[in-house]
Amino acid sequence: MSLIELKDIVKQFKRGTEDLTILRRVSLSVEKGEFLAIVGPSGSGKSTLMNTIGLLDMPTSGSYILDGVVTEKLKDDQLAEVRNKKIGFIFQQFNLLPRLTAIENVELPMIYAGISKKERRERGMRMLETLGMGGRSHHRPSELSGGQQQRVAIARALAIGPAILLADEPTGALDSATGQEVLELMIELNQAGNTIVLITHDLHIAEHAKRVVTIRDGEIVSDKHNKVPTERQATEVSV
């Protein structure tokens, strides 16, 4: 079975008395180990699709099986539990808590996952070191550059050992050189076995994914496999 199985997903929002249909019978399967980019113009429904995949929002209709879990039958607390265990989120604006240090931010999802204090600290430090942020573990987000903040956010996403890394415009708030570094990091993480679903409107980034799904007006209009770039060397990041 696929890691992600979306079938005929419809998402509607109410605006006044009107029903707006944002996702129109979207079906998508993603296998373990894929690096999938979802591209499309602004307003096409990318974030709505990401929120569905990430169990942040429930579809109006359709079925979604995540890593064998039939999600439409779950109650809110069960959804939160599945989300906390299986999904590592990476956002455009990093979404780090400003009052917490880098290591405390990385530890946060592990608290929800019920991991002991000692193990949280050990695992968190290992993640930060893997991402080249070991020396910044006690800095607060405001003391870090954008690229460094995104590395902390990626460490946070990885710390629970998620089934999927889900990234919505992860380079959107970074300059192009830093964005390129974060992209290369994502490629390495995929080569190390992580399944990545990345949402972007940047076609350069999409070129580096193994598979590109294009969404327009809430519908998948193409689904293509890229040639895997052969010049990439074996992974340096292993988590």
Ligand X SMILES: Nc1ncnc2c1ncn2[C@@H]1O[C@H](COP(=O)(O)OP(=O)(O)O)[C@@H](O)[C@H]1O
Binding site for ligand X (CB under 6 A): 13, 20, 22, 40, 42-48
**What is the binding site for Mg ion (CB under 5 A)?**
46-47
Token pair of 59 as six digits: 């579809």
Q: How near is the Cβ of 87 to ligand X at its closest, in Å?
A: 17
When the beta carbons of 93 and 238 are compared against ligand X, the nearer one is 93
When the beta carbons of 21 and 226 are compared against ligand X, the nearer one is 21
When the beta carbons of 26 and 110 are compared against Mg ion, the nearer one is 26
Structural element, H or E, at residue 86: helix 76-86
Structural element, H or E, at residue 156: helix 146-158
What one-character DSSP code corresponds to residue 234?
P
When the beta carbons of 3 and 39 are compared against ligand X, the nearer one is 39
When the beta carbons of 47 and 190 are compared against ligand X, the nearer one is 47
Task: Give the Cα separation of 198 and 167 in Å (integer).
Answer: 5
44 binds, among ligand X, Mg ion, none (CB under 5 to 8 A by kind): ligand X
Instruction: Name the 3-class secondary structure at 21.
Output: strand
Task: Give the Cα separation of 131 and 185 in Å (integer).
Answer: 8
Residues 6 or more apart in contact with residue 227 via CB below 8 angstroms: none
13 binds, among Mg ion, ligand X, none (CB under 5 to 8 A by kind): ligand X
Q: How near is the Cβ of 21 to ligand X at its closest, in Å?
A: 9
Please say whether the beta carbons of 71 and 79 come within 8 A.
yes
Please say whether the beta carbons of 229 and 235 come within 8 A.
no
Q: How near is the Cβ of 22 to ligand X at its closest, in Å?
A: 4
Q: How near is the Cβ of 58 to ligand X at its closest, in Å?
A: 12
Q: How near is the Cβ of 80 to ligand X at its closest, in Å?
A: 19
